[in-house]
Amino acid sequence: MKCPKREKPNLYRVSTGYNSGMVLAIFAMRVLETMFFVGLIGSSVVVLISFFEDGRELFGKDEPIPPRS
């Protein structure tokens, strides 16, 4: 019985089966995805802060109008 031939290792393949360019592209996509969601959360915080400050401005006590000189 013959032993099966071993294939030569392909230096361009990583353990995931993708070539190294695709691994780099997937990593870049994950980084951009993370940056997008961090920005989305930051924008949501700014909108909430603005909402509450505007509500205080609209429904708070009015300041007296300064006299004209």
- What's the pLDDT at 3? 66
Please check the confidence at residue 14 and state whether its pLDDT lies above 60. no
- Quote the CA–CA distance of 69 and 67 in Å, as a whole number: 6
pLDDT digits (tens, 9 = 90+) for 56-67: 888 887 777 888
The pTM score is 0.58
Residue 11 confidence (pLDDT) above 60: no
Element (H, E) at 36: helix 20-59
What would the two tokens of residue 8 be?
């030569």
pLDDT of residue 47: 97
Which has more confidence, 19 or 49?
49
Three-state SS for 35? helix
Q: What are the structural domain ranges in the chain?
A: 19-58
Find the angle CA(16)-CA(20)-CA(25) to the nearest 5 degrees.
95
